[in-house]
Amino acid sequence: MAEDFSALLIRWHAQHGRHDLPWQNTRDPYRVWLSEIMLQQTQVVTVIPYYQRFLAHFPTLEELAAAPVEEVMPLWSGLGYYARARNLHAAARAVMTLHGGVFPEAPEVIAQLPGIGRSTANAIAVVCFGARVPILDGNVKRVLCRVFGIEGVPGTAALESRLWQHAEELLPPLESLLEPVAGNLSLGGSGPNMTTYIQAQMDLGATLCTRNRPQCTVCPLEEICVARATGRTAELPQKKPRRALPERHATLLVIVHEHRVLLETRPPTGIWGGLRSLPELPPGEDATAYVEKVFGVTLIAPAQGGLRRGGSPAQTFMHVFTHFRLHITPLLCHVSLRPSAMEAGLHWLDLTALDTAALPAPVRRILAELSLYEAARRPVSAPRSTR
């Protein structure tokens, strides 16, 4: 059975797999690693432009390690799970200091780097160094649960353990593998190897064995699939029991002086860690008094609730996280003076520099609307024509 599984997948991949993703024509550990980190919990189509931009900015591990983390975060703005960016940067420095700038080859050593777990470490070791180790991402888990009729609650140790055990046992037999040859990149025509095997698993999960309405009739594994044989493709894998999302509310202060807005750097851990965000107005506080007391600036007009393209008052909007729903109310505060001495972590952002700022998605949305609003409000200050 194990031989069938890998052999069927590898044969299928030659004809129907993906071969044109930007990170597929390299075995440079830095590029493979970067793509793997960006792809954690993030879909391929979302990652591609971020990957290209990141590499253009930091072409090598050495350059990434040498840069301050503040230059890294803007390149992750909008991608989510910002701890990934901080870990990536920390790991680059660890490779320089702990490994003399040479990316480690052993999966167990790779997995010691921050932000790299077992699956990601194994994927890097397979692609870059020809290791014979399994991966276990969302695609592989779904395929395994269906093909072998595995039940269990997602996220539990019991299920994870069983899946890893299956993945180990299903590896292509050693004698069936062509050893990767230095300089002979795995571009689909070089014969079966571990890279094509793990790529085949992910491609099958991404294109045929999808969460909804899998295309079983053209699946290479149809003959050996337990879920297909028992009509349970819709029940496997089991769904994760989900609680109702808690509701939270936040009033974000949009403190504007001329064409700049006041931002604060968020703590490295927690929501939007390390990013720059709008200051929050604590519940029950009066906006005018709070702004003067904390930031030392004076309002020149009453605080306005909301922002909308064109400047009309807008309602609260909602931003959904995995674990709660946040109702956000932007509060526009035009202020008369900019204090000379700024508290640590505070920062005036020029509205013309939004593109390069490390902002979470909803804050970027607010400031994009503010930028248009300000342009319409002050036609004198050279409005930039966006969209």
**Site residues, DNA (CB under 7 A):** 18, 21, 23-24, 35-36, 39-46, 78-83, 87, 114-121, 123, 137-139, 142, 155-157, 199, 202-203, 205-206, 211-213, 239-240, 242, 269-273, 319-323, 360-362
Instruction: Say if residues 384 and 352 touch (Cβ distance below 8 Å).
Output: yes
Largest CA distance in the chain: 77
Using the minimum distance from each CB to DNA, give the nearer residue, 154 or 383: 154
Length of the chain, please? Answer: 387
Instruction: Please report how close the Cβ of residue 174 comes to DNA at its closest, in angstroms.
Output: 24
User: Is 258 among the residues known to form the active site?
Assistant: no
Instruction: Please report how close the Cβ of residue 8 comes to DNA at its closest, in angstroms.
Output: 18
Instruction: Please report how close the Cβ of residue 336 comes to DNA at its closest, in angstroms.
Output: 31
What phi-psi label fits residue 310: left (phi over 0), alpha (psi between -120 and 50 degrees) or beta? left
Given 36, 62, 105, 175, the catalytic residue: 36
Using the minimum distance from each CB to DNA, give the nearer residue, 116 or 262: 116
Instruction: Please report how close the Cβ of residue 123 comes to DNA at its closest, in angstroms.
Output: 7
Using the minimum distance from each CB to DNA, give the nearer residue, 171 or 291: 171
Instruction: Please report how close the Cβ of residue 171 comes to DNA at its closest, in angstroms.
Output: 17
CB atoms near residue 253 (< 10 Å): 22
Which residue blocks in the chain are alpha helix, DSSP H?
2-16, 29-39, 44-57, 61-66, 73-76, 83-98, 107-110, 118-129, 138-147, 157-169, 194-207, 226-230, 287-295, 361-377
Q: How far is CA 305 from CA 124, 286, 298, 311, 369, in A?
A: 49, 13, 17, 11, 14
Cis, bond preceding 379 (omega within 30 deg of 0): no
Where in the sequence numbering do the catalytic residues fall? 36
